[in-house]
Structure 1
């Protein structure tokens, strides 16, 4: 199927971060683009400003007539949409051309030199930083990202002259098995999405299958220690400070930002400065730098890009940074991510009280990792815990936010979203973190307004 032959592209779940990048692509090449999503968000508002119409009801009557032409319309959907959804069911019954988001991404990226960034955590930052490095080099690049890169205020980068495309390779629903990259990165393979995989061994097997799809004589950049051993490709290990093919040494924290030397197989690049805070982001930078050097990007291009990278929305995202009050928003929703995020903040602000607001994401993830969530959240000085964001799931008996609290050594406070702003108004805040992958992002601006008002007063 040549998807570019379709005149009309209809998205079921257009507000998803991966879906929106593809919607922007089709809009950019002149297709008619329309979409449905369940709720209005900052991202759907941005898409509408860019000329993409969106509806927030699944009523069939709201589908514009041109998108009911089967011969000219491609329907793209996300696996997060339930099969009982009215519009999706209609398109299936009427035998429209239907494709999952991952299938479309595979078709768009296969003709190019793909750089597929995978991992249970870290992939959005690594893919965004990799794309930024390429964009600031003579190579340039295209990119479909899983976050909004602050340097460009978008999750889509396009270049007519570049044959490189950076793709965030998502393990959810085994989506990344639609990709055949020239270069792949695997940042982590921690147990996650056990509602899909059942057990960690099955997840690891699927990652093995993914790296087995790297094009012949391609490259795999992987976190040292991960059990990956594909054939007929070039292997490159990386780590933060442990000796590997690529690693950092002489790591220094100055004014909240890190400097380091990058050791690589052909030598050492000294005095690199990363403008993006967080110790975990140095490791992410090592991975992105490894890809860049393997693909022929120069040391000077790499140095400049690391120094002017502004980060990713909702990834260690400073909202307020003053002497007396700091507010950071982070997407962390897995125990390992929480540990890394909170530890990074603790390293920057060792003498400050750190308050975290955490919204657990999914009943199954909360059930499977309650003990690990408790250990990570115990790193905070103060915890405000919201109700579980269900996403695509129905409630599970006995699984709620109290399950995490019951396993913590420190006390936490349960709070509803409606009560949160009042609670913050009454709290003594020094460093505040908002953490989670649900709809906690809708609370970020109201929190920021309250804290800015406090600074003014």
Structure 2
């Protein structure tokens, strides 16, 4: 197929937008639809994409209406009854999921794929930064905006490597062709797709079977996974304290973290974390392990970890003063919440930690309500918002209250539109942590302004 234009249905998604940028960099005409305008879609328009926000086939540009020269990419988050999806189906266009397109890209490069229930955005971002700063260079398709590059896409004409954030939702990562893979965690999630924990784990097992001959799997020590790798695929484990790759001599203090990185062949001393949160020690070990296996030098590893600024919405500091701290984190699974809250408490011992959490998806809230309540009870105070539905329709009896009622710390149930006025009235905020994968990020700027006024 001689592709001249690419049309994206759901172009504003973090994963879709990096593919849109990729095709624009290749000189293709790019257009697309999304439900709402966001800072991400505005930037794509500035970069040359044509985007509209109504599901209307008349708004599709003419250059995207030739089925012989247009590739259509869609995200599973868009329902199949969408008018534009039906139009392209009825007119026999080449329609591919985002994951299928990534699969095609991974066939022609050494793909380093980071998967896991949580931690995959941070580890893939760290890995991409390490390789980009090293003699190897890299391409990268990431699920977050890297602060170092202000982008979720890194490109290189010279490098044979591609870093991919491998998404397990809808079994998307089964389309990939990993040269090496990293698995951070396999805590059950997306049970609306998988049904059971057993099916979820089976999906990760199949992912490991896709690793190419001569490649490697790096998996977190102790996770509940039996890999199905080929005979000549090397398997390594990692964690903070155990495994083929781990940390020694960890020092946390004065807002800084240092540790020594233990590899199967020796120790790389004095690694400093650019984003000094305890959970990032383990993320760093996993990403450095993959980089080390591909020949990144000790000096390159040390320099890259020190200069890594993180991805937006992953332990993202919005305010950092002696009197007030504001941190934003994308955590939306009970295990992620517990790790995030614990890490912040270790960074600011003895200070009051207030969390604002927006649950993501009715099905996830239903499936893990007791676990959410346990994790959120680690806070000193909770402000709980309504559920962000994303792609889902409401489920009877499922609201934020099923979490709220079981939380044991001081708590407030609050509608999103009433949050700012609530914060204006509060005078006891010390360290504030905003949490969730929905649209809570749209309130971060006004929340920061309210806190600055209190200073």
TM-score by length of 2: 0.98
Matched, 1:155 2:152: yes
Which whole-Å deviations, capped at 9, do the CAs of 1:146-179 have from their partners, x for residues lacking one?
A: 1001100000000000000000000000000001
Cα offset for 1:416?
Answer: 1.0
Structure 2 residue corresponding to 1:36, chosen from 33, 37, 42: 33
Matched, 1:240 2:240: yes
Distance in structure 2 (CA, Å) of the matches to 1:115 and 1:250: 29
Cα offset for 1:453?
Answer: 2.4
Distance in structure 2 (CA, Å) of the matches to 1:400 and 1:297: 48
Q: How do 1:97-176 and structure 2 match up within 5 A?
A: 97-176=94-173
Distance in structure 2 (CA, Å) of the matches to 1:342 and 1:414: 19
1:430 aligns with 430
On the 8 A contact 1:248/1:262 being kept in 2, the answer is yes
Structure 1 stretches of 4+ moved >6 Å: none
More divergent stretch after superposition (26-35 vs 47-56): 47-56
On the 8 A contact 1:405/1:411 being kept in 2, the answer is no
SS in 1 for 2:100: helix
Cα offset for 1:454?
Answer: 2.2
1:360 aligns with 359
On the 8 A contact 1:77/1:99 being kept in 2, the answer is yes
Structure 2 residue corresponding to 1:80, chosen from 77, 80, 84: 77
Cα offset for 1:411?
Answer: 3.4
Distance in structure 1 (CA, Å) of the matches to 2:256 and 2:343: 11
Cα offset for 1:32?
Answer: 0.1
1:250 aligns with 249
**When the two structures are aligned, how many residues end up with a matched partner?**
451
Cα offset for 1:278?
Answer: 1.2
More divergent stretch after superposition (389-398 vs 221-230): 221-230
Cα offset for 1:426?
Answer: 1.0
On the 8 A contact 1:277/1:316 being kept in 2, the answer is no
Distance in structure 2 (CA, Å) of the matches to 1:67 and 1:217: 41
Q: How do 1:195-344 and structure 2 match up within 5 A?
A: 195-226=192-223, 227-229=225-227, 230-232=229-231, 233-241=233-241, 243-344=242-343
SS in 1 for 2:54: coil
SS in 2 for 1:162: coil
Cα offset for 1:351?
Answer: 1.4
Matched, 1:183 2:180: yes
Distance in structure 1 (CA, Å) of the matches to 2:181 and 2:364: 27
SS in 2 for 1:252: strand
Distance in structure 2 (CA, Å) of the matches to 1:182 and 1:97: 27
Cα offset for 1:277?
Answer: 2.2
Aligned-CA RMSD value: 0.9
1:400 aligns with 399
1:15 aligns with 12
1:45 aligns with 42
Cα offset for 1:70?
Answer: 1.4
2:448 aligns with 448
More divergent stretch after superposition (209-218 vs 268-277): 268-277
Distance in structure 2 (CA, Å) of the matches to 1:257 and 1:436: 26
Distance in structure 2 (CA, Å) of the matches to 1:389 and 1:136: 37
Distance in structure 2 (CA, Å) of the matches to 1:31 and 1:104: 15
Distance in structure 2 (CA, Å) of the matches to 1:381 and 1:395: 30
Cα offset for 1:196?
Answer: 0.3
Which whole-Å deviations, capped at 9, do the CAs of 1:66-92 have from their partners, x for residues lacking one?
A: 111111111100000001111111111
Cα offset for 1:270?
Answer: 1.2
On the 8 A contact 2:378/2:409 being kept in 1, the answer is no
On the 8 A contact 1:41/1:442 being kept in 2, the answer is no
Which whole-Å deviations, capped at 9, do the CAs of 1:76-111 have from their partners, x for residues lacking one?
A: 000000011111111111111100000001001211
Cα offset for 1:183?
Answer: 0.6
Distance in structure 2 (CA, Å) of the matches to 1:36 and 1:449: 32
SS in 2 for 1:338: helix
On the 8 A contact 1:315/1:329 being kept in 2, the answer is yes
Which whole-Å deviations, capped at 9, do the CAs of 1:94-149 have from their partners, x for residues lacking one?
A: 11110000000100121100000000000000000000000000000000001001
